[in-house]
Structure 1
């Protein structure tokens, strides 16, 4: 980087992070400051997450340019600037092109210094609901894991006895009836083996050691992408939308590959008709999230990974239960893929959530970064 560009970068960083306002980065709510012309002069870390852009990229942009319906927000800012009230408070739904609308409580206050500057605080109305849901899902997941382990062990022991008894019975069958009766004993043996495989899959996350090493999430995604395209060579497009600035982190690479593969494979199966028509799409998107709370612990930085498909969406009847074991939206599904994905993500101290509607399903994985 040249000396001139380096100086410019430092100047931009200084503009986006004035020392007097550095403490605002510690707030969970998004804070933006706009000058007399409506340009953004400051955005804290939570605002970067909310607007999905860095403070450097937001600097000097019109605040209204971030939304497709800025009129009400601009009116609130104008009222605050005119000092009609000590502060202006209102709930708004801010529409954004190609993204989910923001349901926020807006508080706008005029500052004496710098002159004509308005401080705007955005509090997501759904944020507290999401945190409550996350805590509830975490508690349910712990209960489910204990139930699964205990139930799997209780099933495993008699299964071995049933299979062994069927084998002994088959050995004792009279030669005259061997062919006919062997069909029955083989049914018992094969069904016992099928249940044994299911039990092993239920216990797999708890048996396998957590092998920790340096992980580059984009290497994980590229591995999954190559596997998916090998299985679905035509009709499916997997787009990359990567943030190259993401650092490596400590984790179990194989578990993360399995996690992403399970989600992507479920997406591809839901996209079956789209693959036949040739318009099926999956997007792997990575970003950095700042000041994120996961499992009641706050992290300065987190990996924000999205796996998005343009399929029909998850049926409403099972949308709230997709991470439960043995819950599947398709015939013949084991209902374990997302359960294992959730277990692996939680072993990395992260969270996984899902938003779905017809035409878009978005699985979001948050993992702590160093």
Structure 2
């Protein structure tokens, strides 16, 4: 075994970490990077090791000073907050990180640099709140459905009996309204309870078959003015799941996007993108997964209204008049039944719903 391969084998356990880690020399030359660094940078390990760690920072001076102090044994560990570039030497796509510089061995000419995304903890807190929110929604919906269904059945039955005794056609129109509205509320309750009633039909699922099904349904509904683009990583493996649930989850998000794109569809420049990627060392609800599927549903619409941005997955919250506010709630429930999560990042002109599901 060559000395380089032997050296790299010492650090293979670093690939299990969910933070970016690099082994560097005093001049910033990269000797080793872990899998998470590859994922964030979007480059292979071989390509990364041809670059210099200082070039990945918007201001490399503080990293250089800390690294030098650790190598001189002035300090054993150095910490500071810095800003990384997602692409070396690029001024855009900056990533705030907390940097930890550690000695590897006393007197060694190399150090271990760990970079923790400052947003990562915020994201994990948000995921935990989302999981708790789904459980609270489930209990609320079950209790609410029980309280609604019993009197609703009585109201409908009483209206039917009353209609049988009425002679006036005008009066029977009122009882018909009562029966119709009772049926509408019953259908709403049934939709709320649907994800919790039916057992999952688990089988092998190909995410691109799911995306293609959603794409064909959306294009059938909007044949003009809307372009539905594909950006697939075809190497993503199949996984165990409920295909119909996932189709419904993605379709609910895509249909919401299409409705928000109404003005752009009329103008002929509406765009919806279905993008699939593989993520490594993903944490979902305090559980670590080596690999995960990332499905992005992106549109160029006006964005989610700011006043409901933090509540869009709550039941009965809708950003448009006449909306039931159930589409995203059901999508979140279906995804979480696959141990996954949904996030939304929205600004005017670009909204991205990100579905993450563990892979085998």
Quick check: 1:242 aligned with 2:232?
yes
Q: Which runs of 5+ in 1 are unaligned?
A: 1-10
Aligned ranges 1:265-304 → 2 under 5 Å: 265-304=255-294
Q: Which one of the candidate residues 136, 141, 164 is aligned to 2:129?
A: 136
Q: Which one of the candidate residues 51, 67, 78 is aligned to 1:80?
A: 67
CA shift at 1:321, angstroms?
0.7
Q: Distance in 1 between matches of 2:227 and 2:132?
A: 37
Query: CA 1:15–1:266 in structure 2 vs 1: closer, same or farther (change >3 Å)?
Result: farther
C-alpha contact 2:297 2:353 (8 A) present in aligned 1: yes
CA shift at 1:270, angstroms?
1.1
Q: Distance in 2 between matches of 1:139 and 1:346?
A: 11
C-alpha contact 1:213 1:252 (8 A) present in aligned 2: yes
CA shift at 1:72, angstroms?
0.6
Q: Deviations over 1:188-238 (max 9, x none)?
A: 111111101101100111112200000111111111111111111222222
Aligned ranges 1:81-160 → 2 under 5 Å: 81=68, 83=71, 86=75, 87-96=77-86, 101-109=94-102, 117=110, 119-160=112-153
TM-score by length of 2: 0.88
Query: CA 1:336–1:302 in structure 2 vs 1: closer, same or farther (change >3 Å)?
Result: same
Q: Distance in 1 between matches of 2:91 and 2:6?
A: 26
CA shift at 1:33, angstroms?
3.4
Q: How many residues align?
A: 352
**What secondary structure is seen at the aligned counterpart in 2 of 1:138?**
helix
C-alpha contact 2:225 2:267 (8 A) present in aligned 1: yes
Q: Distance in 2 between matches of 1:265 and 1:21?
A: 46
Q: Which one of the candidate residues 213, 224, 232 is aligned to 1:223?
A: 213
**What secondary structure is seen at the aligned counterpart in 2 of 1:330?**
coil
Query: CA 1:271–1:122 in structure 2 vs 1: closer, same or farther (change >3 Å)?
Result: same
RMSD: 2.7
C-alpha contact 2:58 2:91 (8 A) present in aligned 1: no
**What secondary structure is seen at the aligned counterpart in 2 of 1:327?**
coil
CA shift at 1:281, angstroms?
1.6
C-alpha contact 1:92 1:104 (8 A) present in aligned 2: yes
Partner of 1:254: 244
Query: CA 1:273–1:61 in structure 2 vs 1: closer, same or farther (change >3 Å)?
Result: farther
Q: Deviations over 1:233-289 (max 9, x none)?
A: 222222222222211100000000111111111111111112122222222121211
Q: Which one of the candidate residues 161, 164, 169 is aligned to 1:171?
A: 164
Partner of 2:301: 311
CA shift at 1:55, angstroms?
2.8
C-alpha contact 1:159 1:192 (8 A) present in aligned 2: yes
Q: Which moved more, 1:249-258 or 1:311-320?
A: 311-320
Q: Deviations over 1:108-127 (max 9, x none)?
A: 45767998655331111121
Query: CA 1:308–1:225 in structure 2 vs 1: closer, same or farther (change >3 Å)?
Result: same
Q: Distance in 1 between matches of 2:37 and 2:106?
A: 21
C-alpha contact 2:59 2:83 (8 A) present in aligned 1: no
C-alpha contact 2:225 2:266 (8 A) present in aligned 1: yes
